[in-house]
Structure 1
Amino acid sequence: MDVDFTLDLPQWFENARELLDEPGEFYLDRGALVVDHIPRAGVDLATAPAIVPVLETLLHGAGTIDAPLRHVRFEGLGFAHAGWLAPSGPQGYVELQAGIRLVGGGTWASEKTPAAVRFEAADHVTIAGCSFTHLGAGGLSFELGARDNLVVDNRFEDISAGAIQLGNVTETWHHHPDDPATIVAGNTIRSNFVTRTGVEYPSTVAIWAGYTEGARIEHNDLFDLPYTGISVGWGWGAVDVDGPTPASSLDNHIENNRVGYHMRVLEDGGGIYTLGAQQGSTTSGNYVHNQGHPYGALYLDNGTQHYTVSGNVVEKVDYWLLCTTYATDATNNTITGNYSELDNPFVQPDPPHPSNTIAGNVVFGAVMPPDAQAIVAAAGLLPEHRAMHPDELARGLPATASSIYDPTHPESQGNDGDGRTGWSPKGADEDPSPWWQVDLQQPRALSGAEVVMRWELDQPATRADLEIVGANQPDAGDAVLLARLGATPLPHRAIWPARWTDRTPYRYLRVRKAGTGYMYLGEVRVLAAP
């Protein structure tokens, strides 16, 4: 298989007065403490409410290795509006991967992007039913000596970096500590909903674990991410392959998670990504779908060893598997019993390294078999925790539209669970006021909708001037405006997270073009009110 994995050079410019040219943009002169801005239409910044972060750390829980913080529970709290002054100066923010940035003037020393809530030398701490929103760096981190902690039933949304971090990275005491009590071990991340992380730092990972033992990352639902969903391991094999002793990275389990609409901004990542030797570790029962950019949905990168990858379901991706040996070998792994829509693995070398077993995987094509459907149904949030994210109502329900462009773009592709396909109306001459509508079968109280824009083509007109209305008449004669997307187009491959407070039950939800220009919907996810 010929594969072009050429990466474009990074391009990111921030806080330059010369780039101030569109409504909603601002420039901060830190020296003079002056803000230049171009207000959006209808917004008076003199009277508009504003929240200015004061703290970078909202909560820091720490004991000592000899006397750890123990048996503390945080439940039902909201953590929001922390800031972070990213590194400036000659070096600036120089990232290695996954939010790990280089420090020290050209050396390979590195640090994690900080989190608003963090714990160290802590055990049996529970974070349950909390929300982490509008944070200027990461959300939650467990570090030195954090053991047997539980993160369950939380919601992470609109976070500048990653949602959850376990462990650390490059120092010797991270991977070969003198005192075993400093190892990050036995922590569980279960049944959390994570969406729209990496807002300012898109190369950060939603759930990331470095050197850690006995981690369980299970039944989480990850949606709408710029980069990798779950990443476990570190080092690319540099400290744990053929070394005198194994690194503190083993018995980690990534199971029954749902990862979708990820890799929307960057390349060279995946739904679930692993690094380094991790004896007794597993990736199983996960559902990975609708990946934007390559590489592999299940990605075993350099140095990944002793992983069992089994019983996962993958669809709507460029490569269901990537097992690489470009540098330090990914070896001694077992990859079997997985289900993929397409026969599209990428294994380097080909045939694979003889110590890897890649066999017994099923390519199912257009019809997912019952065993795979059962895996999909069991993945994601546990039923008792789904209140932290409203259920999606519209998938597969009857849809109608003002017109269809051709038979390959029917109304049903607007709510079929696949953002890579979509509904398209006829052109403006034949359909000047296009709309798409789903019948929810009965009036339902709604909290919002997530509209996946077109992925395969960059058409700015399809990402602007949209309205969402609710109605109880099939012709929408009683339509009530619920949300509007303005004239400034969203970025390519965007997802519009429309929200509203109207809890009136509506049977029909309609998305319509409010201005001129072409319309296209990749997917409409309708959310029930909690």
Structure 2
Amino acid sequence: EAPLEGSDARFLHRFEVDPADLGSLKGLGSEEFRDVQVIVFHKWDTTREWLSTVQAEAGSFTTHGSQMKSWNPMNRDCLYYLENYSGALDAPGEWFLDRSGWLYYRPLQGEDMATAEVISARLPCLMEFQGEVDSPERWVRHIQFEGLTFRHTEFRIPAEGLRPAQAAMSVEASAILADGVEGIQLLGCAVEHIGTSGLWFRKACRNVRVEKTRIFDVGIGGVRIGETGLVPEAVRTGFVTIDNCIIHSGGRIMPAAVGVWIGHSADNAITHCDVADFYYTAVSVGWRWGYDNSGAKRNRIEHNHLHHLGYRVLSDMGGVYTLGPSEGTRVCHNVIHDVFSTRYGGWGLYPDEGSTGILFENNLVYDVQDGCFHQHYGRENVVRNNIFAFSRQGQIAVTRAEEHLSFTFERNLVYWDSGTLLGYPGWGNGAKVEMGNNLYWRAGGAAFDFNGKSWDEWRSDGRDSGSLIADPLFVDPEARDFRLRTGSPAAEIGFVPFDSSAAGVYGDAAWRALAESTQFPEPYAVENAR
């Protein structure tokens, strides 16, 4: 990276790659290669920039973009791909529009172009509410939309590209955008085939309800609630309910986007939703790194089915991700599975920097990368009565040790067949975690330790009073049936069984079948991932 001559804000980025990767660029004219975009995956971010120069045989190209962040730059370990040129048109379902107006398309198997419907979106936004944010008496109120379908918006990549930003919050475009509203309802609607985000209840939105609505095939995020900045409480978005919704297949233009994002906003409920097929996090709550004041309080993330995330193209993600002081927030009765990262951080429950005062209870988390539960750093969270199973690496992880109580871990069932029980360096650095009345079992009764300590040594330090090492007697863990058989020792630790089948959407059979109809690919195979 080097400053771009004549600009204080733009930088030159030089990439060196295997020349074979650039073989499809050979033969492009100077104008054609300037239409090519590179998309780079770096940890939890993505960067999208236009090519400026190419030396295909030498395996190098340059772009112009914003200055890289020191804590998350593009580097040699990043995945990337190139698009928007004719040589990339190599798979069914792909299309390319050249500057002369010719549209090239490779049909899907069985698709008849004589009868195919082809839609080119023109509008970036389909519906916008604009009440006067600072004058509640002039807010837009009490409008109900029922049974409507909102489809097809366009999102064009700007000339400066798309700079990296967590959760893709650098782009504000949404198909439905609301500021200064109260009592708005979307019931039984659909928001589909969207180049932008689906819904954003942004500034001064209160008592909004979205119910039994499908948000599908979106370029950025599914639903956004609140703002990235902390505004006065009188005009702060809150009391938004997203219930019984299907939110699938997002991040198609900005892969770092999330299914549901809550910023500085309180008293919201995300309940009985099915959120899946995103390259990053399903539900993100809070927008404060550290312990300073946060507006994200008393949010409820309950009875959701959150699954098929990451696909090994990004890192540092969770089924539920939290940030900052969040007193009164409840993350309960969710089912989370199939969360896989590229390098690290495919977690089920992920309280990140400063997460405080959150209850994680009655969740089922299984088949994740490196921790069913991972706390980076936080204060006085409670992790109670959960089932954690089959993380590929450490089952329960903590990164940073702090002087205060990080979290309480009690009445949980932990079951695994690979990796360690305890992951990340916080355990060895003295993280303060109150542990008791838990049950641990490695499949087949295989031996394991507690961060290098035997069971007796671990308990001699005052940890895990009332806990057991015993087979919980799940009905069929290999088939991911985590119901308890009669005689399970889980009762001895005070574990209270819960019905995980209640997570996700509810109602008529057709609606539930629609949630199950999305096809999920296998996670990508990444060579030399570190």
Deviation per CA, 1:282-341: give whole Å up to 9, x if none.
Answer: 11111111223342100011121121111211111231011003xxxx222222221112
Aligned to 1:158: 217
Relative to structure 1, is the Cα distance of residues 10 and 231 closer, same or farther in structure 2, using a 3 angstrom cutoff? Answer: same
Give CA deviations for 1:83-112 in whole Å, capped at 9, x if unaligned.
1112223xx1012111122xxxxxxxxxx4
Which residues of 2 match residues 44-443 of structure 1 at below 5 A? 48-65=116-133, 66=135, 67-89=138-160, 92-101=161-170, 112-169=171-228, 174-175=229-230, 177=231, 179-237=232-290, 241=291, 243=292, 246-264=293-311, 265-293=313-341, 294-318=345-369, 319-325=371-377, 330-342=378-390, 344-349=395-400, 354-364=405-415, 367=474, 368-370=482-484, 374-382=498-506, 384=507, 387-390=510-513
Counterparts of 1:19 and 1:220 in 2: how far apart (Å)? 36
How far did 1:186 drift?
0.9
Give the Cα separation in 1 of the matches to 2:364 and 2:524: 23
Paired with 1:41 and 1:358, the residues of 2 have a C-alpha distance of: 51
C-alpha deviations, 1:449-473, integer Å up to 9, x for none? 55555558689xxxxxxxxxxxxxx
CA distance in structure 2 between the partners assigned to 1:253 and 1:207 by the alignment: 12
Q: CA deviation at 1:35?
A: 3.4
Q: Given the superposition, is the C-alpha separation of residues 455 and 14 from structure 1 closer, same or farther in structure 2, using an over 3 Å criterion?
A: closer
Deviation at 1:373, TM superposition (A): 6.6
Unaligned segments of structure 2, at least 5 residues: 1-42, 45-71, 417-442, 444-473, 475-481, 485-494
Shift of 1:372: 7.6
- Do 1:195 and 1:222's aligned partners in 2 also have CA atoms closer than 8 Å? yes
Kindly tell me: are residues 137 and 391 of structure 1, through their superposed partners in 2, closer, same or farther at Cα, counting changes over 3 Å? closer
Contact 2:259 2:276 in 1 (8 A): no
Query: Are the aligned partners of 2:385 and 2:496 in contact in 1 as well (CA < 8 Å)?
Result: no
> Does the CA contact (< 8 Å) of 1:313 and 1:375 recur in 2?
no
Q: Give the CA RMSD over aligned residues.
A: 3.0
Kept in 1, the 8 Å contact 2:340–2:346? The answer is no
Alpha-carbon deviation of 1:144? 0.5
Change in Cα spacing, 1:223 to 1:357, as seen in structure 2 (3 Å) is same
1:157 counterpart letter in structure 2: F
Letter of the structure 2 residue corresponding to residue 182 of structure 1: V
Amino acid in the other structure paired with 1:82: T
Contact persistence 2:356–2:380 (CA under 8 A): yes
- How big is the shift at 1:58? 0.5
Q: Deviations over 1:439-496 (max 9, x none)?
A: xxxxxxxxx955555558689xxxxxxxxxxxxxxxxxxxxxxxxxxxxxxxxxxxxx
8 Å contact from structure 1 (residues 55, 82) kept in 2: yes
TM-aligned CA distance change 1:44 to 1:451, over 3 Å: closer
Identify if the C-alpha distance between structure 1 residues 50 and 373 changes in structure 2 by more than 3 Å, giving closer, same or farther: farther
AA of the residue aligned to 2:373? L
Count of aligned residue pairs for this structure pair: 371
**2:499 maps to amino acid:** I
Q: TM-score, normalised by structure 2?
A: 0.64
Contact kept? 1:129, 1:388, Cα under 8 Å: no
Could you give the per-residue CA deviations for residues 259-289 of structure 1, whole angstroms, max 9, x where no partner exists?
Answer: 1222224221111111111121111111111
Aligned in 2, Cα 1:249/1:386: closer, same or farther, shift over 3 Å?
A: farther
Percent identity between matched residues is 28
Cα 1:353–1:335 change in 2 (3 A) is farther
- Structure 1 residues 10, 458: CA separation in 2 closer, same or farther (over 3 Å shift)? closer
Deviation at 1:251, TM superposition (A): 1.3
Give a deviation string over 1:373-432, Cα, whole Å, max 9, x none: 7331221123x366434178xxxxxxxxxxxxxxxxxxxxxxxxxxxxxxxxxxxxxxxx
Structure 1, unpaired ranges of 5+: 102-111, 393-447, 460-530
CA deviation vs aligned residue, 1:222-270 (integer Å, no higher than 9, x gap): 2333221111111322xxx2x4xx3322111111111122222422111
TM-score of the superposition, structure 1-length normalised? 0.64
Q: 1:331 to 1:385 in 2, by over 3 A?
A: farther
User: CA offset at residue 199 of structure 1?
Assistant: 2.2
- Output the CA distance in 2 between the equivalents of 1:139 and 1:361: 36
SS state at 2:357 partner = strand
Cα deviation, 1:26-72, whole Å, max 9, x if unaligned, reads 33345x44435556677676874321112111011221132111111
2:383 is paired with a residue of what secondary structure?
strand
SS for the counterpart of 2:203 is coil
- Residue in 1 aligned with 2:15? none
The CA deviation at 1:351 is 9.0
Take 2:333 and 2:403, find their aligned partners in 1: how far apart are those partners? 23
Q: Which moved more, 1:331-340 or 1:54-63?
A: 331-340
Structure 2 CA distance, aligned partners of 1:390 and 1:135? 22
> 3-state SS of the aligned residue for 1:121?
strand
Equivalent AA in structure 2 for residue 62 of structure 1: Q
